[in-house]
């Protein structure tokens, strides 16, 4: 019976190598660790959505924003300026000219801020989004924002991730988990009629 199952066409189909997870790049700008922690959180969620995530700070992406996989940027602002590990990245974005540089860059942005900084609330995430867009980048999910002055940054982030980020990412780029693995059949329930 086992041999039969192994040699059946269905069994051979199941021997096809599983595709590796799709790729996702997570970039953060963080001074005191909040956005870095959110990046770690997203990384562990990625796997269960069929994505293999790479995490790095924004400065490591200067002149190398990937164009072959979606990018998600999580960042704070300080007195309206970028974090220490996003300063080169932000200066580089501002130096870009023309409307083609980020053709092929698919991105989404989440900002952490504090509304006590009234004039510069969410300045850096907002500017990163508009600079990427104005130079040809494509936004695949609406920007999220958390305000440290009210509520909890982590639950605001989770709400954005669950209701905006993942649904947009999965509908734009697909998911191995949902496309590749058929749901297991319903167990048969046999009822005894007496
Ligand atoms: N948030 C803003 O939205 N705009 C600001 O201009 C701003 N300036 C800040 C300046 C200081 C000195 C501090 C302590 C916070 C400021 N914030 C501002 C709030 C931080 O961006 C927010 O707390 C964020 O969650 C910090 O993220 P991080 O831990 O990843 O660095």
Which value does ipTM take for this structure? 0.99
pLDDT of residue 94: 97
Which of 36, 73, 117, 157 most suits a substitution to test ligand 1, by most atoms within 8 Å of the C-beta? 117
Q: Which atom of ligand 1 is nearest to the CA of 115?
A: 3
Query: What average pLDDT does the structure give for the chain?
Result: 87
Residues 6+ apart with CB under 8 A from 56: 25, 26, 27, 28
Query: Span 139-149, mean pLDDT?
Result: 98
Q: Give the DSSP H or E segment for 132.
A: helix 123-134
Query: Span 162-186, mean pLDDT?
Result: 74
Calculate what percentage of the chain has a pLDDT beyond 90. 77
Question: How far, in Å, is the centroid of ligand 1 from the Cα of 171?
Answer: 32
Question: How far, in Å, is the centroid of ligand 1 from the Cα of 80?
Answer: 8
Residues 1-59 have pLDDT tens digits of 444 444 444 444 444 334 457 999 999 999 999 999 999 999 999 999 999 999 999 99
Residues within a 6 A CB radius of ligand 1: 30-35, 76-80, 83, 112-114, 117, 120-123, 148, 153
Query: Is the CB of residue 89 less than 8 Å from the CB of residue 59?
Result: yes
DSSP H helices, 54-112, are 87-95
Among 72, 15, 16, 75, residue whose Cα is nearest residue 49: 72
Query: Span 150-179, mean pLDDT?
Result: 90
Q: Tell the residue nearest (CA) to atom 7 of ligand 1.
A: 78
Evaluate the CA torsion angle 66, 71, 74, 76 in order and state its sign. Answer: positive
Helix, strand, coil percentages, rounded to 5, for the chain:
45, 20, 40
> What is the Cα Rg of the chain in Å?
21
């Amino acid at each position: 019976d086992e041999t039969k199952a192994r040699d059946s066409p269905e069994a051979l189909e199941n021997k096809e190598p599983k595709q590796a997870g799709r790729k996702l790049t997570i970039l953060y700008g963080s001074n005191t660790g909040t956005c870095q922690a959110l990046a770690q959180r997203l990384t562990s969620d990625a796997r269960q959505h069929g994505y293999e995530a790479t995490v790095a700070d924004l400065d490591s992406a200067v002149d190398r924003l990937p164009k072959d996989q979606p990018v998600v940027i999580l960042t704070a602002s300080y007195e309206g300026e970028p974090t220490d590990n996003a300063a080169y990245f932000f200066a580089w974005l501002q130096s870009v000219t023309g409307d083609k540089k980020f053709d092929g860059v698919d991105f989404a942005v989440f900002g952490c801020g504090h509304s006590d900084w009234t004039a510069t609330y969410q300045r850096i995430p907002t500017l990163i989004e508009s600079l990427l867009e104005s130079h040809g980048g494509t936004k695949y999910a609406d920007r999220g924002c958390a305000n440290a002055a009210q509520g909890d940054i982590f639950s605001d982030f989770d709400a954005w991730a669950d209701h905006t980020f993942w649904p947009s990412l999965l509908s734009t780029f697909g998911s191995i988990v949902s496309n590749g693995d058929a749901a297991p059949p319903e167990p048969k329930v046999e009822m005894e009629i007496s």
